[in-house]
Structure formats: structure tokens, C-alpha cells
Amino acid sequence: MKFSVLVNEGPYQHEASDSAYHFTKAALEKGHEIFRVFFYHDGVNNGTRLATPPQDDRNITQRWSALAEQHNLDLVVCVAAAQRRGIIDADEMKRHGKDANNIAPGFRISGLGQLIEAGIQADRLITFGD
């Protein structure tokens, strides 16, 4: 089965991101395809490389990055939600005259059209968080 995943919550506010990660990992291990993981609303906070959780805590962003690298996953962060929360890539940095970017490895910024496509291309769109 082909899944797309929508993550609407940040990495440490709720269990939604952890649950989405574990679902995605388990689906891949069972031989399912993940078309795309889309991060929306506060979920875009999963895509910042500047989060530094305590050493004895899980690093959710690193988990997503590693899973994306291992399985060639498409991790998409909503551009509008990301800009509101100060998450930008190199292109957005230049476009808005900022002096740095903070997108984590394996993540990319794009628009809501990517979410629509994810829903169309997948057999199921699974949503985590409100």
C-alpha cells in the first residue's frame, strides 16, 4: 500500500510527531511505500536543524532526517507555515534577505500543492495531530 503522512504538531508539544515517525518506519519495514511526509502548522518545527534537545532525550528531527536518507523519503515542510515560525532554506533566506537558514537535512520547503498531490498519489493519507 502507498501512504502519505501529514504531521500537524511540533516535535515536542504532543506525541503526534513521534507517532508519525514510528508509523512511517513500521510501514517501510513492512514493505509499504511512503509517497511523502508533509509537515504543516506547528509540524514544520520538525524540520529545523537548530533544535537541540537534552542528550538523554530523543532528537526527533535527526530521526526524520536519518529515515529520509535511509529510504529516500520526501519530507516536505509547508512554506507559509515555516515562514511564520522562522524556518527557512537557502532559497527563502536569499529571497527574504536573511543571513542564515535552518532547514534540517532531508527536509525541503514547498507549498500546499505538495500536500494535495500526496493525497492524490497515495492510497491513504494518514494525519497525525490536529
Give the CATH superfamily of 2-128. DsrEFH-like (3.40.1260.10)
- The reported pLDDT for the residue numbered 60 is 96
- The reported pLDDT for the residue numbered 93 is 93
Please state the pTM of the whole predicted model: 0.96
pLDDT tens digits for 41-66?
Answer: 999 999 999 999 999 999 999 999 99
Cβ(106)–Cβ(64) below 8 Å = yes
pLDDT tens digits for 71-128?
Answer: 999 999 999 999 999 999 999 999 999 999 999 999 999 999 999 999 999 999 999 9
| 52 part of the active site | no
Q: What is the largest CA-CA distance in the chain?
A: 44
Active-site residue among 6, 37, 77, 78? 78
- The reported pLDDT for the residue numbered 15 is 95
